[in-house]
Structure 1
Amino acid sequence: MLEEVTIKNFAIIEELTVRFTDGLTVLTGETGAGKSIIIDAIGLLIGGRGSVDYVRHGEERAEMEGLFHVNSSHPAREVLEQTGIEMEEDMLILRRDITNKGKSICRINGKLVTLAVLRQVGQSLVDIHGQHEHQDLMQPEKHLSVLDRYAGKKISDTYNDYLQRYRRFTKLKNDWKKWQENDQETANRLDFIRYQLDEIEKAELVPGEDDELEKEKYMLSNGEKLYTQLGHAYESLYGEGRGMDWAGLAVTHAEEAASIDDDMQPILESLQTTYYTLEEATFSLREKMDAISFDPERLNEIEARLEELKKLKRKYGDSVTDILAFASRLEEEIESLSNKEEKLGEMEKEMHETALDLQVEADTLTDLRKQAGEKLAEDVKQQLQDLFMENADMQVRVTPASSGVSYEWEQGVSVFNENGQDNVEFLMAANTGEPLKPLSKTASGGELSRIMLALKTILSGYQNVMSIIFDEVDTGVSGRVAQAIAEKIYNVSTGAQVLCISHLPQVAAMADTNLYIEKQEQKDRVTTNIKPLEDLQKTDEIARMISGVEVTELTRDNANELLSMAEKIKTNS
């Protein structure tokens, strides 16, 4: 669960630390005090979309940090293991900073992570339901994801199989479309790459010849200098009074010395070896000098060939090896384009087989959604009865999708998209005798609040989130409906931590913990503060919510009555 949140320099909040407990926590306070701002900060902490507008005026950055207690079986642990983040004593710390330049910095247990990782972990811990979700409920395109969440693993496994085949199918179809270029484009392409290949083949390239030619060119260009240096080396060794004569004389003297002193034998052998080595080197120098030729024509040939290779390199690759590899690819493409019809036939066969598999998965997905839709409709109707919409009727309509990637069969055309082949829409009739219509055409604000709460109550049992946040879900209701909503929210809190912003005294009375949010002016700046309410303070706050202006003994009596009723409901639940 969410144990603590620290918020700094966020909107009108200068610095605020809020500690939460399990059960139902209700946040109350005057309009504009900053209740929703706290929820906005938590939303950013778990990966919501950030903005520089959240940074308090005059500050460099807004900072949000949350402490969570995560049990050993929670799915977030798998993500943490994959990213190499360790946990101690089941504690998890999320932190996010947003600078006034728009940069977002995310950390989990002190380790820098991407926003995507923060969102994946954070949104598995907390589910925030705000007033904007009423608008989502009015949009049919959002209904499919609600239904799939309700169906859970039964649909998710089938959907993953479907998605894998869908991506394979779309790739095959895109490749097939590329091959369906008109004949003129194909002919032009063939002419062009044949010209390229012909140019390369006429050059009769040899792997590595550019390096060999550069080496030979260098030798020819420096032949005279090389001959001169070799001549000096040769003359230093060979000739009367030169190195070889002196070396031979040293060997003769050493032989005489060795005939007198046996210890000279190793030295003699070393001198003899050196003499023969020098003699061999002298012969090699002579051969090298004789082999050197000053051939201007060969140098011209080499330079012309290198210039030809240079032109080819500008077009086809950085080296002769790269050019030959490019030529090999051209040959493959020519073969492919020349056998276009055969290739298209193979691709069409593979695409057809993939489409067959895809259709099977899509049909299975549709059947599962229809089954889940019937069950969801019954569950919602049951929940709505508890919320005094006894005569409400609901239907989850699953119809074929109209947009996506199409495939034509003999019997018709199938349309696939990333979600399958289905459009999902919730239909509702709020009263007896009314026809089923889309929510956007039937539900009032108060009815939408009750429908959304019914869905949240149902879905909370299918989610792994430890904390659920309701941001003014009681909009547009009062009286006995308000009491029913309060009891429903409390029931959700028996299975998960619930944080709720509310203006209803009935909801505040059901709370296990009451937090009061107030706006104060300090040093010509407005800031938000929060304080837990003790018993008498809780009574006064509920009395204020009842009266709207002044707390009187009568409103206190009403508040105490609500608290007593709430206590009885908790005891009996």
Structure 2
Amino acid sequence: MLIHLHVKNLALIEDIEVEFGPGLNILTGETGAGKSVLLGSMQLILGGRTARDMIRTGASCALVELLFQVENKKAEQALNSLGIFTEEGQVLLSRKIMDGRSINKINGETCTVGQMKAAAECLLDIHGQHEHQSLLYQEKQLEILDAYGREKIRPAKEAVRQSYEEYRKYMRALKELDTDEEQRNREKAFLEFEISEIEKAHLVPGEDEELETLYRRLNNGKLILETLQSVHSLTGYDSGQGAGEAVGTGVRELLRVTEYDTQLESMAETLQEIDGLLNDFNRELSSYVEDLSFDDETFYETEKRLDQINGLKAKYGRTIEEILEYQNTQQQKLEKLARYEENFLEARQNLKKAEEQLEKDSYVLSEIRKDYSKTLTEKIIEGLRDLNFLDVKFRIDFQRKQEFTDNGYDSIEYEISTNPGESVKPLGRIVSGGELSRIMLAIKAILADRDQIETLIFDEIDTGISGRTAQKVSEKMAVIGSCHQVLCITHLPQIAAMADTHFEIEKHQKGSETITEIHPLGERESVRELARLLGGAEITEAVLKNAMEMKELAQVHKNTRVK
């Protein structure tokens, strides 16, 4: 349950801390005192949107902290499945808002808004002032039924979802194959042309690199020949000015004096080696020049082949390997077209099997829903009678959608009759806002019992009701509070009288500022607040006496009927 709430610098709230108790926690106060701000702070933990104007004027940031004592094993298991573990049985959720952005933490560790929302949904459920309007939508009605029967409905829904994905996959496959004969013939001719063009080229991986090397050599043949002839002249023995002849002369001159100085012998040997190297180089160069040929036909054929390969690269791939891979892909497409009738028949059979499986899984899901709808209907009728719908009739009407969805084929509608002799009709055509609010209260109570959510928050569930109906709602809240922690914002004294813990929210001036504060009420203070709710601005002794009697009767009801 929620044991501690801390809100700082949020709208009219400067800094408040509240210790909530078990059972029914009632919050009352004058209109505009800040009750909605307090509820809004809790909704922020449930992933509500943040804005800069939420932060109190003059403050740099706002803070909301909710501390839960987790006593329910199902809630603890749900948290553990999210990777969240209690510390001494407690979970702390906090959200710090700064200039439109927020920092979110669970037990002191930073998390995303989505992670915090998922954690909070395991611990509390908030019913806002206008949420009951969602009951008018069939999607919400189906969502409630699925939540009620979640133990068996959830796995059945997962089976439907998987079957639907298979069904859609084969639908797409068949659609891709479903082309007219003329279009298939055009595609076949195009594929054959591309494959033939590549095949005729007889491509060899690496061939393009060799051809480019040869092309560069042939294209620069004249320059290569002139350069080699020049080098041969510079290093040769015939020109009279070549390096070979000069080195040979040097060897002969050096050998003439080595007999006079033995230290010159090593130098002479080195120069002789140089002379030998130059001689070998010149012979190799001469042989290369003699074999060198730059005929125009070879150049033309090389250039033509390169143009062919580059043309294919421009169409089918950057390398020969990519072109051949493209050819293989197109060949597979061509073979697939050749097997069109076979593939089309196979696709139709696959789709038929997928549709049959989806039909089967959707039927199973629908039957499970119908089983749960019977018990849910009974419980809703029971809950509505507790809320002063004395002659109520209620049923869940099932219709089949024309098309499959990933949630099955069920379309349901809640139908109700609140007066004797009237036939059941859809909710939107029968009930008022106050009646719709009570129906949602009954449903919330039912779902809370099944999900074991420990903390339920109701914001002005009393909208549009009074008198005997208000008393019935208060009794229902007391029943819910006997097995759950309930936080309820109300204007009705009948509901406030049932409080196990009563809080007053008030607004007052602090210097030049307006701030909202919340504080628990003792027995006498609670009676006086009830008197205010009963009598308005002027609280007389008679009103106080009436408030005291209401409080005592509420206590008797809780002691005798609730417990």
Q: Give the shorter-chain TM-score range.
A: 0.7 to 0.9
Equivalent position of 1:181 in the other structure: 179
Following superposition, the deviation at residue 517 of structure 1 comes to: 1.5
Q: Deviations over 1:109-160 (max 9, x none)?
A: 4444443333322222221112222211122331111111111211111111
Equivalent position of 1:64 in the other structure: 64
Q: 1:65 corresponds to which letter in structure 2?
A: E
Secondary structure of 2:483's counterpart equals: coil
- Evaluate the alpha carbon distance shift between residue 419 and residue 225 of structure 1 in structure 2; reply closer, same or farther with a 3 A threshold: same
Equivalent position of 2:486 in the other structure: 498
Secondary structure of 2:363's counterpart equals: helix
Equivalent position of 2:389 in the other structure: 389
Q: Show the 5 A alignment for 1:84-99.
A: 87-97=86-96
Following superposition, the deviation at residue 13 of structure 1 comes to: 3.4
Following superposition, the deviation at residue 9 of structure 1 comes to: 4.3
Partner Cα separation in structure 2 for residue 303 and residue 99 of structure 1: 69
Secondary structure of 2:491's counterpart equals: coil
2:244–2:279 CA contact under 8 A, matched in 1: no
2:2–2:66 CA contact under 8 A, matched in 1: yes
Following superposition, the deviation at residue 170 of structure 1 comes to: 1.6
Equivalent position of 2:167 in the other structure: 169
- Evaluate the alpha carbon distance shift between residue 518 and residue 232 of structure 1 in structure 2; reply closer, same or farther with a 3 A threshold: farther
Select the structure of larger CA radius of gyration: 2
Partner Cα separation in structure 2 for residue 294 and residue 334 of structure 1: 44
Q: Which residue of 547, 555, 561 maps to 1:567?
A: 555
Equivalent position of 1:549 in the other structure: 537
Partner Cα separation in structure 2 for residue 284 and residue 540 of structure 1: 119
1:125–1:464 CA contact under 8 A, matched in 2: no
Equivalent position of 1:139 in the other structure: 137
Following superposition, the deviation at residue 93 of structure 1 comes to: 3.0
Equivalent position of 2:204 in the other structure: 206
- Evaluate the alpha carbon distance shift between residue 227 and residue 473 of structure 1 in structure 2; reply closer, same or farther with a 3 A threshold: farther
1:435 aligns with 2:449: no
Q: 1:398 corresponds to which letter in structure 2?
A: F
Secondary structure of 2:91's counterpart equals: strand
Q: Deviations over 1:38-58 (max 9, x none)?
A: 222212212234556645567
- Evaluate the alpha carbon distance shift between residue 319 and residue 230 of structure 1 in structure 2; reply closer, same or farther with a 3 A threshold: farther
| Identity value in percent | 38
Following superposition, the deviation at residue 310 of structure 1 comes to: 4.6
Where structure 2 has 5 or more consecutive residues not aligned to the other structure, the ranges are: 237-242, 252-276
Equivalent position of 1:321 in the other structure: 321
1:544–1:550 CA contact under 8 A, matched in 2: yes
- Evaluate the alpha carbon distance shift between residue 19 and residue 230 of structure 1 in structure 2; reply closer, same or farther with a 3 A threshold: farther
Secondary structure of 1:401's counterpart equals: strand
Secondary structure of 1:21's counterpart equals: coil
Secondary structure of 1:494's counterpart equals: helix
Q: 1:123 corresponds to which letter in structure 2?
A: E
Q: Deviations over 1:396-437 (max 9, x none)?
A: 1111124x3xxxxxxxxxxx1122111111111112211111
Following superposition, the deviation at residue 216 of structure 1 comes to: 5.4
Partner Cα separation in structure 1 for residue 196 and residue 379 of structure 2: 73
Q: Which residue of 75, 78, 90 maps to 1:76?
A: 78
Partner Cα separation in structure 1 for residue 318 and residue 110 of structure 2: 41
Q: Deviations over 1:492-523 (max 9, x none)?
A: 22322211111111222222222222223446
- Bigger shift: residues 314-323 or 302-311: 302-311
Partner Cα separation in structure 1 for residue 114 and residue 214 of structure 2: 58
- Evaluate the alpha carbon distance shift between residue 343 and residue 27 of structure 1 in structure 2; reply closer, same or farther with a 3 A threshold: same
Q: Deviations over 1:410-469 (max 9, x none)?
A: xxxxxx112211111111111221111111122223322322211111111111422211
- Bigger shift: residues 171-180 or 315-324: 315-324
- In the superposition, the TM-score normalised over structure 2's length comes to 0.81
2:45–2:120 CA contact under 8 A, matched in 1: yes
Partner Cα separation in structure 2 for residue 113 and residue 239 of structure 1: 82
Equivalent position of 1:412 in the other structure: none
Partner Cα separation in structure 2 for residue 169 and residue 484 of structure 1: 50
Q: Deviations over 1:510-567 (max 9, x none)?
A: 2222222222344644432222222222221111111122222222222222222232
Q: Show the 5 A alignment for 1:148-547.
A: 148-213=146-211, 308-402=308-402, 404=403, 416-522=404-510, 524-547=512-535
Following superposition, the deviation at residue 385 of structure 1 comes to: 2.2
Q: 2:161 corresponds to which letter in structure 1?
A: L
Partner Cα separation in structure 2 for residue 450 and residue 124 of structure 1: 24
Count of residues in Structure 1 that have an aligned counterpart in Structure 2: 534
- Evaluate the alpha carbon distance shift between residue 280 and residue 340 of structure 1 in structure 2; reply closer, same or farther with a 3 A threshold: farther
Partner Cα separation in structure 1 for residue 92 and residue 430 of structure 2: 44
Equivalent position of 1:6 in the other structure: 6
- In the superposition, the TM-score normalised over structure 1's length comes to 0.80
Equivalent position of 2:116 in the other structure: 118
- Evaluate the alpha carbon distance shift between residue 283 and residue 166 of structure 1 in structure 2; reply closer, same or farther with a 3 A threshold: farther
- Bigger shift: residues 436-445 or 185-194: 185-194
1:124–1:464 CA contact under 8 A, matched in 2: no
